[in-house]
Structure 1
Amino acid sequence: MAKIGVEQSLTNIQQALREKGYDVVELKQESDANGCSCCVVTGLDSNVMGMHDTFTKGSVIEANGLSADEVCQQVESKLQ
Structure 2
Amino acid sequence: MARIGIEGTLADVKGALQAKGHDVVDLRQEQDAQNCDCCVISGQDKDVMGIQNAATQASVINADGMTADEVCQQVEQRIQ
Aligned residue pair count: 80
Report the Cα offset of residue 25 of structure 1.
0.3
Q: Where does structure 1 lack aligned partners over 5 or more consecutive residues?
A: none
Give the TM-score normalised by the residue count of structure 1: 0.96
Equivalent residue letter for 1:52: Q
Question: Identity of counterpart residues, as a percentage?
Answer: 54
What residue ranges of structure 2 are gaps of 5+ in the alignment? Answer: none
Q: CA deviation at 1:45?
A: 1.3
CA distance in 1, matches of 2:32, 2:78: 19
Separation in 2 of the partners of 1:10 and 1:73? 15
Q: What TM-score do the two structures reach when normalised by structure 2?
A: 0.96
Which amino acid in structure 2 is aligned with residue 16 of structure 1? A
Give every structure 1 segment of 4 or more consecutive aligned residues whose post-TM-superposition deviation is greater than 2 Å: none
Distance in 2 between the 1:15 and 1:51 partners?
Answer: 30
Secondary structure of the residue aligned to 1:9 is coil
CA RMSD of aligned residues (A): 0.6
